[in-house]
């Protein structure tokens, strides 16, 4: 397996498929998953001639289960370590949920200053600020986030099953086409990671104000979200992202859930490809 060691000594696992001279697409996964969440997209874009890369966030998947650094700054720095190790240039960065926050911080702090990024895609992403505050009145009340922490701490295995069975993919909606394999794969990825990383990651994805990250991004950004996202409400995410970004294209999908890159991969993949090649 392939790993890169960060400046603070953390081993980060990554996948790197395809021709080394092809345009790279870097995928950033959501909480509490791993690079495996992007397998459908990686195979699709590999078949289109791209080089595809994805890494496991620290404490997630096959990366080191370290005690510290479960915050957006370290997430972005770790992503940059992978990019610099592979010397990726003219890259497209695609992030889902927490991975979208990771993309925003990476592009603003590393990708643009280093002239390594061409475009970005935010899918059902957490910026600018998920938690409810005076600046984010439509955000999630802190008691909801405390409930996530309590559920994880009490019985992480059952909590992860409940999330995958319910709001993440919209499988709790009447008439939903439920995929047992998708549920089991979500659970598998989550349970591979560290409970501490997942617990502290809730604060990272919900209480990190990324307003300035979004404002700083000048490369073209495709913003995608479903209007039935039960995890990150689109009015507090995609709509605000589009307003804060300098060069964005917004698309809202009627009825699509938080994990729409899986439930509607054919549509999402086609729209990302059109954005990349357009």
Positions marked catalytic: 97, 229, 258
Helix, strand, coil shares of the chain, percent, nearest 5, are 45, 15, 40
How far, in Å, CA of 104 to CA of 108, rounded? 6
Q: How buried is residue 59: exposed, middle or buried, by Cβ count under 10 Å (0-12/13-18/19+)?
A: buried
End-to-end CA distance of the chain: 34
How far, in Å, CA of 136 to CA of 122, rounded? 19
Are residues 100 and 26 in contact, defined by beta-carbon separation less than 8 angstroms? no
Residue spans of beta strands (DSSP E) within 18-109: 24-28, 51-55, 91-96
Quick one: which of 42, 20, 38 has its CA closest to 30?
A: 38
Q: How buried is residue 215: exposed, middle or buried, by Cβ count under 10 Å (0-12/13-18/19+)?
A: middle
Packing angle, helices 72-86 and 195-206, rounded to 10? 100
How far, in Å, CA of 43 to CA of 36, rounded? 11
Could you give the C-alpha distances from 43 to 48, 90, 108, 265, in angstroms and in order? 9, 20, 28, 12
């Amino acid at each position: 397996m392939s790993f890169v060691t960060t400046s603070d000594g953390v081993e980060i696992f990554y996948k790197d498929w395809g021709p080394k001279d092809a345009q790279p697409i870097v995928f950033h996964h959501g909480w509490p998953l791993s690079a495996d969440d992007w397998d459908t997209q990686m195979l699709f874009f590999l078949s289109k001639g791209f080089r595809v890369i994805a890494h496991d966030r620290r404490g997630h998947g096959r990366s080191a289960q370290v005690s510290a650094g479960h915050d957006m700054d370290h997430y972005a720095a770790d992503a940059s370590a992978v990019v610099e190790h592979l010397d990726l240039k003219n890259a497209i960065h695609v992030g889902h949920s927490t991975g979208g926050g990771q993309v925003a911080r990476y592009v603003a702090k590393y990708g643009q200053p280093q002239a390594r990024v061409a475009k970005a895609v935010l899918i059902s992403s957490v910026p600018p600020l998920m938690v409810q505050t005076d600046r984010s009145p439509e955000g999630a009340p802190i008691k909801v986030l405390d409930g996530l922490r309590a559920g994880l701490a009490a019985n992480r295995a059952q909590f992860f099953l409940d999330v995958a069975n319910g709001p993440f993919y919209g499988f709790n909606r009447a008439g939903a086409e439920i995929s047992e394999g998708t549920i089991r794969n979500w659970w598998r990825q989550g349970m591979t990671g560290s409970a501490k990383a997942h617990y502290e990651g809730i604060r990272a994805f919900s209480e990190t104000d990324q307003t300035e990250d979004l404002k700083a991004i000048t490369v073209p950004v495709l913003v995608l979200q479903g209007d039935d996202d039960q995890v990150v409400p689109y009015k507090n995410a995609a709509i605000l992202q589009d307003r804060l970004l300098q060069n964005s294209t917004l698309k809202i999908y009627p009825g699509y859930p938080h994990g729409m890159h899986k439930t509607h991969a054919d549509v999402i993949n086609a729209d990302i490809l059109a954005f990349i090649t357009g």
